[in-house]
Structure 1
Amino acid sequence: MPLENNNLLVTNGWINGQEITAKRLFSVVDPATCREIAKISDLGAKHALAAIDAATDALGAWRTITRDERKRLILKWAALIEQNIQNLSEIVSLENGKPLREATGEINQCVALLRWFAQVSENLVGETLVAPNPSQRNYTIKQPIGVVACITPWNFPAAAVIVKAGAAIITGCTTVVKPSEETPLIALAFAQLSKQAGILDGVFNVLPCKDPVDVSQEFCRSEDVRMLSFTGSIPVGKELYAACSGTVKRLALELGGNAPFVVFDDAHIEDALDGAMGARFYNGGQICVGANRFLIQQSIYQEFAEKFAARVKTLKVGNGFDENTNIGPMINPSALKRLKSLVKTAVSKGAEVIIGGSQDKDRTLFFQPTVLTEMSPKMDAFHIEIFGPVACLYSFKNEAEALHLANATSAGLAAYVYSSNQERLARFSESLEAGVLGINSANIFANDLPFGGIKQSGLGREHGMQCLEEYVETKSICMGL
């Protein structure tokens, strides 16, 4: 895997500012070619304990340096990431498979996030309260929660690391990151750059491992780890939730979604189609806020389906390094198998494939962009997170049915609705059970906009000032004079 800056290709763990080797190795594979990119040190429970110790030892110094100094170091880290954007984007595209332009966008977002964290950290302040009597003063201060364990996913392997660890670090916390076994290289590259930026050893530790169970268990049982931030599936999130109960950790859980995409017959259909393409097919559909259930009003169902299929037909499947590629591969054989089974099951129960529907020319891990019509809420696809380039179209008669179908899920991460009726949009804005809503828009991310789910889609928020609040404790001080 040649890079212009080969120092960014770190294949060992990273603890206390140093590379850590292990006897066991595991392979990181390019999903576009199924070829090995690199062999990575496979760290385990003892390494997790060492990383937690390093983070604990570094906490005293990191939490007490001035905010201005932390800002300076974070901004230097951001500048180094920006200077190496080409190499870092290539790493993401190679290990994840996404188109290079999307990988570049992700790295740019990492830079923007770090700079935004540095900027708004100045607003993380306590309050001086009204004195209850002349001889007492009451006030609050904000203090870092402590060591934070971060477990990050493969679908946005760079941004997920920065939105968690970057936020924690700017507030004065230290971190131990366990990246996905599918995509550990970008987190390790960030570790190398954090050291170059001058961030103290032990503040940002990275534990690559093939089997996450042993490392995650150490995170959960450690009393030194005061917070765990996880992005991943609902079932795994529940397991971590239960495992952390013994130490009563703070948790930030960004779990799965099952987003409805509701289109009423008074919507501007071309705008809805624009939104649908991004909400379903960005990152190959491997996105937690992806539109899982397209709920289309009956009177425009056929028109929407035909126009949608025509647009989907233009998408090109291929290697992320081909500048014409829109859809990269699925991340691994299990993901491909799950999509094939989902489509097969839906068709067996009456769904119609109007475009796509199968593995792309039997080539490795590519799946054709697919549109399924005649879908029913009784089908499995209505209740699960699809996580691939498959769009499922359901119909509804009226507003009441649309709202019922949209909320008929245990997940509550994102939802989308298109209509020209402002009163209806106001009603849906209040009634849709999701943490993030796209109203006549599928652009639902901004650095200052809190992001997170309700119901079983998680706890806490990423982005926005609430993101930084996750990593601090508010201490109340009552001082007699």
Structure 2
Amino acid sequence: MTTLTTEQAETATTTNATPTTDARTGSPRASVELRGHTIPTGLYLDGDWLPVESTFEVIDPATGGVIAEVADGTASDALAALAAADRAQDAWRHVAPRDRANLFHRAYAVLMSRADAIVETMTLESGKPLAEARGEFQLSTDFFLWYAEQVAHLHGTYAEGSRGGYRVVTTHQPVGPSLLITPWNFPLLMIARKAGAALGAGCTVVVKSAKETPLTCALFVEALHDAGFPPGVVNLVHTTRSADVSAAVMADARLRKVSFTGSTGVGSTLLKQAAPGIVNASMELGGDGPFVVLDDADVELAAQQAILCKFRNAGQACVAANRIIVHSAVAEEFTRRFVELTRELTVGDGFTAGVDVGPIISAKQRDGVAALVAALSEIDSELLTGGSPLGRDGYFFEPTVFKINDRDNEVCNQELFAPIATIYTVDSTTEAIRVANDTSYGLAAYVFTQDLSRAIAVSERLDSGMVGINRGIMADPAAAFGGVKSSGLGREGGHEAIYEFLEPKYLAITVDESKGLD
């Protein structure tokens, strides 16, 4: 049975009115004290933490209470940040690779020394359990370390011209000032992954945090500041006016790159805004994660991995299992075991030991989950467990499982982004592939089978940028993370990620080959 645990560990206190002193510059700055950790609450522009008159509240989704008030930036603030990034661009791109890498290593050390502050802040403002926050911290710092190690290993090519007499030399140059727009569901991972690649490539950045989780972003930027990143290289804007801020920056000719993680709808809008200025764009957008369990799968493994893939971060992940597609030969066994495991999950405050699933990020989002349950209940389906909000405080919802009998319904073709699992039954591998590909999305897919050849053959037929084989988690610093179709453009992670922020430059060099002869 799903249980709700709401025991709050240590009350957070808000002290925005009390200024603290910047360790590097000695100047005063606005901050908040949470669980014994001091977090800057201003905007970070051109190397300084700046307060602004307007602020907005940051909510703890486990209680619905206010934990901080953060500077609410405007379009003018964002343009000031872009101006700072533009001024710093030329000097930053010419910092020697080893010197830039050394800065990364110093920042990595600072991040590691502040693990508790970052992890606890992430749990406070996003609601995810401490164990998940620790996992995100580890993966984020792994990504950042990966980029530190790549900075000095960006290589070009050298070749003889096809008809002789000249040489073809290809090098790479930074794209230029970049706008990084991060989501709330992975507040540290997204900024570490984006900023790590951009800064490693020699690009200056303007980061726009998600209004739900600005504090984690602030701690990351503070670590870079304290490590010695030069003024203007990193800039951070919090705002509740995301559309206005993004539109203003996107329309400015100084911007040369945008990297966005979020919904396909917003990504499409940004691409339209990028078109007039031909702004380079990377987009990591929505997903419809087909989770395919074939007739020869290890059912216990598939059920356990489906739980992890579906209910991590309360289902609020673009790579979550969105449609669980099970072969009829194992459908009954898999469904029984998956429902059993779902009922064993504990829902509650992320600071409480033993909690598996935290709250939904906001009241609005929780109400959307309830509406989705209602919509799924109206089609040909069976509610197998869950289906209701939990508790009076906070934004909790039961882990929910539906068996869907009518998949030709509009509600079955949307990204769930919720602690709701939907199970579909198919009668063949061919049908499983067809159902999996029957979507406009193509981010992550999953295949469970004990036959390696079958796993590869099926994976190659799936229209997805990534496929997990017999595993429900696959993010890794060395892997190219990204999707196809409506799930986005470009890749984050692996060797490809840093080149997303570099433009190849071809140099044609005339060579008088007679000079090599006596």
- Same fold per superposition (TM over 0.5): yes
For the 8 Å contact 1:261–1:293, the answer to whether it is kept is yes
Which residue is 1:120 aligned to?
A: 150
Which residue among 323, 326, 329 is the counterpart of 1:296? 326
Structure 1 distance, partners of 2:124, 2:389, is: 20
Which residue among 376, 397, 402 is the counterpart of 1:367? 397
Structure 2 distance, partners of 1:468, 1:118, is: 11
Structure 2 distance, partners of 1:4, 1:399, is: 51
Structure 1 distance, partners of 2:404, 2:112, is: 46
Structure 2 distance, partners of 1:393, 1:131, is: 57
Structure 1 distance, partners of 2:410, 2:357, is: 24
After superposition, give the CA deviation of every residue in 1:397-444 in whole Å (9 maximum; x if it has no partner): 112211111000000000011122334323211110000001122231
Note the C-alpha offset of 1:380: 3.7
Q: How does 1:11-410 map to 2 (within 5 A)?
A: 11-132=41-162, 135-410=165-440
* 1:477 counterpart SS class: strand
Note the C-alpha offset of 1:305: 1.1
Question: Which amino acid letter does the alignment assign opposite residue 243 of structure 2?
Answer: V
Which shows bigger deviation, 354-363 or 270-279?
Answer: 354-363
* 2:157 counterpart SS class: coil
Question: Which amino acid letter does the alignment assign opposite residue 253 of structure 2?
Answer: E
Which residue is 1:474 aligned to?
A: 504
Matched, 1:432 2:462: yes
* 2:424 counterpart SS class: strand
Question: Which amino acid letter does the alignment assign opposite residue 81 of structure 2?
Answer: A
For the 8 Å contact 1:219–1:228, the answer to whether it is kept is no
Note the C-alpha offset of 1:132: 4.7
Which shows bigger deviation, 344-353 or 426-435?
Answer: 344-353
Note the C-alpha offset of 1:362: 4.5
Which shows bigger deviation, 331-340 or 80-89?
Answer: 331-340
* Cα RMSD (Å): 1.4
After superposition, give the CA deviation of every residue in 1:300-357 in whole Å (9 maximum; x if it has no partner): 2222111111111111000011121110000011211111111111112232211111
**Residues 225, 397 of structure 1: CA spacing in aligned structure 2 closer, same or farther, 3 A cutoff?**
same
Structure 2 distance, partners of 1:219, 1:106, is: 29
For the 8 Å contact 1:346–1:375, the answer to whether it is kept is no
For the 8 Å contact 2:346–2:356, the answer to whether it is kept is yes
After superposition, give the CA deviation of every residue in 1:421-468 in whole Å (9 maximum; x if it has no partner): 334323211110000001122231111110100011000000000001
Structure 2 distance, partners of 1:311, 1:4, is: 33
The two structures have a TM-score, normalised by structure 2, of 0.90
Structure 1 distance, partners of 2:223, 2:150, is: 22
For the 8 Å contact 2:160–2:166, the answer to whether it is kept is no
Deviation beyond 6 Å, 4+ runs, structure 1: none
* 1:129 counterpart SS class: strand
Note the C-alpha offset of 1:3: 4.3
Matched, 1:411 2:411: no
Question: Which amino acid letter does the alignment assign opposite residue 376 of structure 1?
Answer: D
* 2:372 counterpart SS class: helix
Q: For structure 2, which runs of at least 5 residues remain unmatched after alignment?
A: 1-12, 14-32, 512-518
For the 8 Å contact 2:433–2:462, the answer to whether it is kept is yes
Q: For structure 1, which runs of at least 5 residues remain unmatched after alignment?
A: none
For the 8 Å contact 2:43–2:50, the answer to whether it is kept is yes
Structure 2 distance, partners of 1:360, 1:220, is: 41
Larger radius of gyration: 2
